[in-house]
Structure 1
């Protein structure tokens, strides 16, 4: 079963994009297709980011070691969906108007936080290869990859501030993130 785990998770991780493409092909993106694309890619970016953070606690709770082999791939899918989210915002929403982008980053707190999240995740994606782990050394690589924690906080805050009225979904993500980060603090406190 472990042999098929990575390819299976890889295929499943592409399903949100395939579904979004199918909806676009079927002209089923609603009255504001750009917003639908932007929201969908952002939602999946946040979900994959939280899934990547959940791998270690799940492995510890279940004792199922093959889960650890998924963390990097799930994290890279988080970054992939972050890139799609950013590309849809910059390309489809702003039509590559870089001045408008700079104004939005300076003016809208939720966009500032989203950009901050992207900036923190970028070095993690770039250094995710085995070769980069060897070049940086395990200790430095692990220290760098702790940026995922503030990046996930920024991602949840980005979503929370973007939502105008119904905060139930961002609240759910905030609770999940709190539990994931809290489990790490609790474990560190016991060590």
Structure 2
């Protein structure tokens, strides 16, 4: 029964984007009622990053994608974003709790924090990325996020901010929540992907 429900869930994730322009939102507890469990099989995910639809005129129009791969004991990420001004030095990215973008990136809620920890110890705190030539190209290993079980980041979102993450060292409550990272300038929903996409772009 669980395997049938799982197949239906994956099929829905694949089909919904074909019929709607808006990003897809799944309830916070969907991982529980779909029966997702840890598995020995590899799992892949993709996040298509687009500019915030409430972007201020002076902010850069950043777009690109993020790939995730998880195999037993190993978790990888590949980040490829472009559209930054040549003067940019670094910007942070984090996983947020909701995959709901009807009001732009502000609809994604706070940092995804299933264990009740302070920033920068949330599983999706990827923190600051160096920008070279207006582009972020980065491979990460040893990620703390998971694509399995009730703490999966599938159907949640990744948000790029316009500031610099203070990594919890700012001395105020905002620092321990989000690193005073600034306003969201781009974001996207994390969805199930496949090995072919990963292997063609981010082989590890």
TM class by shorter chain equals 0.3 to 0.5
The TM-score with structure 1 as length reference comes to 0.33
Larger C-alpha radius of gyration, 1 or 2? 1
The TM-score with structure 2 as length reference comes to 0.31
Structure with the larger RCO, 1 or 2 (CA within 8 Å, 6+ apart): 2
Which structure: greater helix fraction? 1
